[in-house]
Structure 1
Amino acid sequence: MRIVVIGGSGHIGTFLVPRLVRAGHEVVNITRGTSHAYADAPEWQQVRQVTADRRREDADGTFPSRVAALRPDVVIDLVCFTAESASALIERLRGEVGHLIECGSIWRCGRSAVIPTTELTMTPPFGEYGIQKELIAQLLKEETASGGMATTSLHPGHISGPGWLPIGPLGNLDPTVWQTLATGGTLRMPGLGAESVHHVHADDVAQAFELAVQNRDAAAGEDFNIVSPAALTVRGFASAVAGWFGRTAVLESVSWDEFRQATTARFAVQSFEHLERSPCFSVQKAHDLLGYTPSHGSLETVLESVRWLIDNGELAVDRDLVA
C-alpha cells in the first residue's frame, strides 16, 4: 500500500517509517524539513520526502488537498493537534483513502480514577491539549460509525527513546533530577511519591501503528491506549534511577508550594501537569484487537534514553556508574 505519514521525522516516525518500508509499503513522509529521524536506517533511502508547513497550509485550507494529491491508501497523522484540523482532513479524504490513523495522547484522559485506566473508564480531559485530543478521537469514531472512512486513534503515554530527554522521576524534564539521583543528593519531591507516570518506547508506539495498518477491520472506529506494561510511581522511579548509579535514593516529601519555590516555573508546571493526572493505563484492548505487546518496560525505556544522552554528552553524569 501507499502510506502517507504526516510528521514522520520525529519520535514515532524514527521507528515507524522503517517498519512500514520493511513491511513492503510505499511510504511518503510529509515533513516541515526542520528535523531528522533520531536514528539512521537504510529504509529511509526508499522514502519519498515532501516538505510542507502544515500549520500555514491548515490556515489557508490547502493541506488536506496536498495529502489527497499523494493518492494514499492509508494516512497516518502524527501531528494533528486540533479538532478543526482533523475535521478538514477527514472531509477531504472521505471516499478517497481507505484508513486514517491519528496519533492522540493519554492526556485525553483527566485525573486517574480507576487504575489501570481503560478506554471506557477515562475521566474527562482538562487543558486545551488533552481536550483537543479527545475531540479528535471522538470525531474519528463518529466518522466510522456513520458509515464514512475507516479511522483509528492511538493514544501513547510519555514517549521515550534514544535521542531525547525522557519525562523524569518528578514528572518533568529537569536534567538536574538525574544528576541529583546519580550523585546521592536529596531529591525533593512534591507529595508523597505515590503519584505515577506511564512511559512507552517510541518503537512500541510504532509497533501499534503498524498493527493498526495490518488489522484495519479490527482497528476501524476504535481508540487504543498505547503504553508500557506498567506505570511507575515517583518514589519507585526515583529509587530505580539512583540504583542505576549505585546509589540509594534520598527522597524528601515537600509541599507543592515548597517545590515551586525550589525550581523554575517551567519545570514546576510540567511536574504538576503530569503528577496531577497520575496516568496508569491498560493496554488490554490494544492487545486483544491488534495483538499489541509492548517490547519495552518503562524503566528499560528510560534507561536506554539516559544511556544515549550520557554517551552523547547531553546529560552531565558519570557514564561509568550507569548499570
Structure 2
Amino acid sequence: MVIGGSGHIGTYLVPRLVRAGHDVVAVSRGRRSSYTDDPAWREVEVVTADRAAEDRAGTFPDRVTALRPDAVVDLICFTPESATALVERLRGHTGHLLHCGSIWRWGPSRRAPMTEDDTTPPIGEYGTAKAAIARLLRDETATGGLATTALHPGHIVGPGWPPIGPLGNLDATVWHRLSAGQPVEIPGIGAEFLHHVHADDVAQAFEAAVTHRDAAAGREFAVVAPTALNVRGYADIAASWFGRTADLRPVTWDDFRGRTDPEHAEASWDHLVRSHCFGIATARTLLGYAPRYQPEDAILESVRWLVDNDRLDVAGPLTAP
C-alpha cells in the first residue's frame, strides 16, 4: 500500500512496485492523477481517502489495516500523533512500515557532508515533527514491535511542479532574471547548500527498502542526489541554460527581506539557514541506492517541463542540451 500514491514520489514509486511484481494499492484524495502517465497504473487498485479528515475521525488506521497490506509506504504523515495511531494499529498485522520523512529532521549543518547520525537538533515545526516521528519509529522497531524504516528526501524535484530555486524559495521571477542576464540579489555570499533529489530517485530508494526489509528495518536514510549545489553554483548553472552568466549581487539578510515578498523571504531563510549537504553512503551500502540524477539534471528537467508547458516566464529559449 502506498499512502499518497499520486503525489511527487508516488507517481514514480507505484509503477516501480508494479513492475517489480507487487500487487499495489494506492491511496490518495482522488483530486488529480499522477504527474506522469504510466501503463502500470492500470494494474493498481486505487482507494480514495482524505487522510487528514480520517485521522481526525480516528478511522484511517482501520481503513489501512482492513486492506491487509504486507507493507505500507506512508508518504503523507506529518505529525507524531498520526504516526503513532498507524503504528499501533499495524503492529502485528503488517510486515513493514516505511515513512517518508525529510532531511529537515536534522538541524542546520555543522559539517559537510552530513550523515544520518548527525545530532544537530531540528528547527521549526515541520522539522521537529519529522524528527519526532523518526524517533518513535526507531524506538518501535528497537523494542521488538513493527518493522519500520524512515527515508528522508531532500528537495524533491521532477517534471510537473516547480523546483526550489537558487534562492531557496519558489519565487519564479528568479528564472526570468537569470534567463535575461539581469542582476539577482542573494543574501550573504551564496555559499549555503541546497540538496535536491529527483522524485524517481526517491522512489528507487523506497523500492529498495521494500526489497531489503531486513537491512532497512529500524534505520533512517538520507535520500538525496549524489552532490548538492550552493546558491552561487546553482545560479551560475541555471543562467548557463539560457546562454547567460549569472550576475549575482550579495546583500544583507535585512536588505533581502526588505525587497522580497515575506513568504519567499521566509522560505529562503528556512532553506539556507540549514545549508544541508548529505552523504548517501548508508543508503548506497545497505539498500543499493544509486541515484540517476545529479541535482542540476533533475532541476533542468523540471524547468524544461515548466517552460514547454507555458508555466514559467523566461526571457529566452533554453539552450541547454
TM interval, shorter chain, is: over 0.9
C-alpha separation between the residues in 2 aligned to 1:63 and 1:274?
32
Aligned AA (1:163): G
The corresponding residue for 1:65 is 62
Deviations 1:30-49 (A, max 9, x none): 11111221000001111111
Correspondence 1:50 to 2:47: yes
Q: Which of 180, 199, 205 is 1:208 aligned to?
A: 205
Correspondence 1:188 to 2:185: yes
Offset of residue 11 of structure 1: 0.3
Correspondence 1:132 to 2:113: no
C-alpha separation between the residues in 2 aligned to 1:10 and 1:221?
25
The corresponding residue for 1:21 is 18
Correspondence 1:85 to 2:82: yes
The corresponding residue for 1:10 is 7
Q: Secondary structure at the match of 1:279?
A: coil
The corresponding residue for 1:257 is 254
Correspondence 1:171 to 2:168: yes
Deviations 1:226-253 (A, max 9, x none): 0000111100110111111111110000
Unaligned runs of 5+ in 2: none
C-alpha separation between the residues in 2 aligned to 1:91 and 1:155?
22
User: Is the 1:82–1:136 contact (alpha carbons within 8 Å) kept by the matching residues of 2?
Assistant: yes
The corresponding residue for 1:37 is 34
Q: Secondary structure at the match of 1:310?
A: helix
C-alpha separation between the residues in 2 aligned to 1:216 and 1:251?
46
Deviations 1:195-227 (A, max 9, x none): 110000000000000000000000000000000
The corresponding residue for 1:109 is 106
Offset of residue 318 of structure 1: 4.9
Correspondence 1:235 to 2:238: no
Correspondence 1:222 to 2:236: no
Tell me: CA distance 1:186–1:220, structure 2 relative to 1, closer, same or farther (3 Å).
Answer: same
C-alpha separation between the residues in 1 aligned to 2:124 and 2:35?
29
Q: Which of 262, 266, 269 is 1:269 aligned to?
A: 266
What is the 5 A alignment of 1:113-124? 113-124=110-121
Deviations 1:122-167 (A, max 9, x none): 4110111101101111111111110111100000000000000000
C-alpha separation between the residues in 1 aligned to 2:7 and 2:316?
26
C-alpha separation between the residues in 2 aligned to 1:51 and 1:321?
39
Deviations 1:156-190 (A, max 9, x none): 00000000000010000000001100000000000
**Which segment drifts farther, 121-130 or 227-236?**
121-130
Correspondence 1:153 to 2:169: no
The alignment's TM-score, normalised by the length of structure 2, stands at 0.98
User: Is the 1:197–1:280 contact (alpha carbons within 8 Å) kept by the matching residues of 2?
Assistant: yes
Q: Secondary structure at the match of 2:254?
A: helix
The corresponding residue for 2:308 is 311
Q: Secondary structure at the match of 2:132?
A: helix
Correspondence 1:289 to 2:286: yes
Q: Which of 280, 288, 292 is 2:277 aligned to?
A: 280
Name the Cα RMSD after superposition.
Answer: 0.8
C-alpha separation between the residues in 2 aligned to 1:75 and 1:115?
32
User: Is the 1:112–1:122 contact (alpha carbons within 8 Å) kept by the matching residues of 2?
Assistant: no
Identity %: 62
C-alpha separation between the residues in 1 aligned to 2:161 and 2:282?
29
Q: Which of 72, 76, 88 is 1:75 aligned to?
A: 72
Following TM superposition, the consecutive aligned residue runs of length 4 or more in structure 1 with deviations greater than 4 angstroms are: none
Offset of residue 263 of structure 1: 1.4
Deviations 1:1-54 (A, max 9, x none): xxx110010100010000000001010011111122100000111111111111
Unaligned runs of 5+ in 1: none
